[in-house]
Amino acid sequence: MKRVRRWLGEGKRPAAAAAATKTAAATGTAEGTRVEPSTQPSAATNADQDTSFRYKPLPTNSTIRILQLQRQAGEWNAPWASLSLRGSLIETAVDSGLQYFALSYTWGDPAPRENIEIDGKTLGITASCACALRRLLRGKIERYIWVDSICINQADTPEALEERGSQVAMMDQIYRGAVKVLVHLGQGDAASDVACETLKRLTQCYMAVKLGIGGPMEETRRKYEELADDALATTPEYPYGKLHGVFRLPWFRRTWVVQEVALGRDVMFYCGEYMMHLKTILIGADFTKLPYSKLDATSMHWRSYVDYHDSLNEFVRRREEGEPVSSTVSGLTLLCVLMVPAMMLEATRREDKIYGLYGVCKRLGFELPRPDYKKSLATVYTEAARAILRYESDLGILACVCESPGWELGIPSWVPNFSGSVRQWTPTNPPHMPIPFRTKSLVSGLSTRQHEYALDGQGLQVKGRRCRAISAAGLPWMTDATTTIFAGAPMSDNVQVLESLLASLPSWVEVVRGRSDLPDEQRAVQILTSALIQDIIQPVSGQDLAAFAQNLATMVRSATWRTEERLGETADEGSPSASDAAVGLLGLQALTATLSRLVGMQWKTVFRTTDGHIGVGTHTLQNGDIMAVLHGFSMVAILRPWGDWYRYVGPAYIDGIMNGEFWITTSEADDEWFTLV
């Protein structure tokens, strides 16, 4: 898919001596990406070898290449979209002071589709790279640009891999040293044009309100409300509102771009004919700033696409200015930096979920092992996990781990599987990590983490107290992200989220009713509500809790009714589905409110322990799994016996013990070491 990171440099013409140090060639090839094998030029004939650009090794580990992109003579007045591409590669020290721009873009189809002439030789580049370079030549004679796919040898030879690791290790200097980071979102279309125009108008109106210009304050605020209403309105033409036209673009889904923006001193976006500053996007997409009078989950959604990037940018800036880390990055840990992209973003090459953040981590004072593309994925992820544990005082990392396909890749069960993205989760492609629990508890009292490494660093020994085992589990709520706004699916597809919940709810009730003291369904729903309410997003008052329980009971009834109807063979094609029944019984507004509070339950299920406690845990838990309370961990750990060791299955919540009720009934004599592999 895409390889998203390339930084553009442009600026002053370097001295003649620097210009003479153009790179020629040695091991290299057509454009690839630092994170993805590239397509090499054919060496079938001498003619091919004579015309194909080939890299030569860089003289030092602190040398970088800069692309001097030039408009050809005879094309001064040609439309920018049809310009031919040519230039030179200049070698320079990373701290030489040469002024350049850095390009950030997404790969699209990774196969080289176009060519650029480098020092008289031909280098294949992707169509999206070519489009970005042409856009940046608009109105320019030349640009000095850093583009990783051109300025780094993307071959798969040992020498090229060594160079790639060395260059990735300098990304913080490269990005921070650029005059400006230029983000190319793509050629644009009608939908993105509308989105860009909407963002600009929202920002202009916001600034008018803040600066007190453009007319009476009340009138300007009313205009902002109207613009916000229009931007967020869902219509057949804009089913997700007008801002979706920009935020659906691939750039916003990529891991590498976090670092590009976070390290940029100044960031400008290009989308088709539009050019916008980062602040325009941040302000236009943030409806909390004035704030908008109709704030809800939908209006809050859009700022999430760039909020994280901008926050890291601000942390980097403040730290450089000498502010103490405690005040600059309050609450920001290495775990926080790595987990947001691990959960939300994508990378073609899985190592880049770590390497793509190496530079910004370094600038924030977090040390990771130097990028090395010759290491196995399991080694890269395990080293990152050990780095996280160095900076953490507890076992919070285990809250970000669950049983996943990473086990098949040799990743230890206690190490987060950083690959994948929530946008790709489906019943056939389940989560690589859990949706975080929002409950911070005292389940292990005020204990502190106790751990050791075992089995040559692949095992993690943790001290804790065996609690109980799982005796019954319901069906997990398995949603399909491809049917949601994340994938830009039609609104009609969104019903899968509700249908899958209704398919799971009856089994959750049955798990609760399995307790000998809860034969009554109404009481069972109340107990279930008590368990589920611990992991909701919004705080719930007593009155809201009662309403939530009532709504949940109605949803269970609608799901059960549809199941019974099918079993009785009374349903026909015209019969309403379970989701239709839920909407009919609850009303759309109440149903939406209930779903929004349950969103954290996706890919989780309800279980019962051998002593009758009800809990919530990750989707792969099963009967016989052991529950343990670990020193320095705020959740219950689900462990699966694995020979002499244990596999860590994921975190859990158990109603009735999360405030230390279990912990205070035990003592140090109950402590034991669990080796997680």
Q: Residues 371, 358: contact at Cβ < 8 Å?
A: yes
Per-residue confidence band for 493, with pLDDT thresholds at 50, 70 and 90? low
134 and 211 part of one domain? no
Task: For residue 64, give both structure tokens.
Answer: 């970088």
Q: Which amino acid is at 94?
A: V
How many domains does the structure of the chain reveal? 4
561 and 589 part of one domain? yes
555 and 618 part of one domain? no
Q: Give domain status of residue 1, yes or no.
A: no
563 and 512 part of one domain? yes
Can you tell me the mean pLDDT for 260-275?
96
532 and 580 part of one domain? yes
Q: Give domain status of residue 402, yes or no.
A: no
- The predicted-structure confidence for 67-80, as pLDDT tens digits, reads as follows 999 998 888 788 88
Q: What is the distance of C-alpha 89 from the center of its chain? A: 33
Q: Give domain status of residue 409, yes or no.
A: no
Domain boundary among 545, 572, 602: 602
Largest Cα–Cα distance of the chain, in whole Å? Answer: 87
Task: Please name every residue paired with 654 in a beta bridge, in sequence order, or none if there are none.
Answer: 615
Rg (C-alpha) for the chain, rounded Å, is 28
Domain boundary among 602, 621, 646: 602
Q: Give domain status of residue 436, yes or no.
A: no
Q: Is 243 helix (H, G, I), strand (E, B) or coil?
A: coil
- The predicted-structure confidence for 600-651, as pLDDT tens digits, reads as follows 899 999 999 999 999 999 999 999 999 999 999 999 999 999 999 999 999 9
According to the model, what pLDDT value does residue 437 have? 80
According to the model, what pLDDT value does residue 77 have? 81
pLDDT reading at 444 higher than 60: yes
Q: Which of 386, 409, 398 is nearest to 457 (CA)?
A: 386
pLDDT reading at 519 higher than 60: yes
Q: Give domain status of residue 428, yes or no.
A: no
50 and 170 part of one domain? yes
Domain boundary among 186, 212, 227: 186
Per-residue confidence band for 544, with pLDDT thresholds at 50, 70 and 90? confident
% of the chain with per-residue pLDDT over 90: 65
101 and 198 part of one domain? no
According to the model, what pLDDT value does residue 325 have? 54
Q: Is 251 helix (H, G, I), strand (E, B) or coil?
A: helix
Unique residue bearing structure tokens 């029944």 = 581
- The predicted-structure confidence for 303-353, as pLDDT tens digits, reads as follows 999 999 999 999 999 999 887 655 444 568 999 999 999 999 999 899 999
**For residue 629, what are the CA distances in angstroms to 454, 473, 654?**
20, 19, 11
- The predicted-structure confidence for 392-443, as pLDDT tens digits, reads as follows 999 999 999 999 887 888 999 999 999 999 999 999 999 999 988 866 789 9
> Quick one: CA dihedral 252, 257, 258, 264, positive or negative?
negative
Task: For residue 549, give both structure tokens.
Answer: 């329980």
547 and 576 part of one domain? yes
Per-residue confidence band for 539, with pLDDT thresholds at 50, 70 and 90? low
| 488 vs 27 pLDDT, higher one | 488
Task: Please name every residue paired with 346 in a beta bridge, in sequence order, or none if there are none.
Answer: 254
Q: Give domain status of residue 415, yes or no.
A: no
139 and 243 part of one domain? no
Task: Please name every residue paired with 147 in a beta bridge, in sequence order, or none if there are none.
Answer: none
Q: Residues 580, 591: contact at Cβ < 8 Å?
A: no
Task: Please name every residue paired with 426 in a beta bridge, in sequence order, or none if there are none.
Answer: 429
Distance CA 182, CA 101 (A): 7
Q: Which domain holds residue 218?
A: 188-328
101 and 208 part of one domain? no
According to the model, what pLDDT value does residue 304 have? 92
Q: Are strands 180-186 and 101-104 parallel, antiparallel or unpaired?
A: parallel
312 and 212 part of one domain? yes
Q: Check residue 432 and report its DSSP letter.
A: S
Q: Which of 153, 145, 150, 243 is nearest to 191 (CA)?
A: 243
pLDDT reading at 135 higher than 90: yes
What are the percentages of helix, strand and coil residues in the chain, rounded to 5?
40, 20, 40
Distance CA 544, CA 177 (A): 53
According to the model, what pLDDT value does residue 212 have? 87
Q: Give domain status of residue 3, yes or no.
A: no
- The predicted-structure confidence for 176-217, as pLDDT tens digits, reads as follows 999 999 999 999 999 999 999 999 999 999 999 989 887 888
Per DSSP, which regions of 62-140 are E strands? 63-70, 86-93, 101-104, 114-118, 121-125
Q: Which of 176, 130, 145, 152 is nearest to 34 (CA)?
A: 152
Q: Give domain status of residue 378, yes or no.
A: no
571 and 632 part of one domain? no
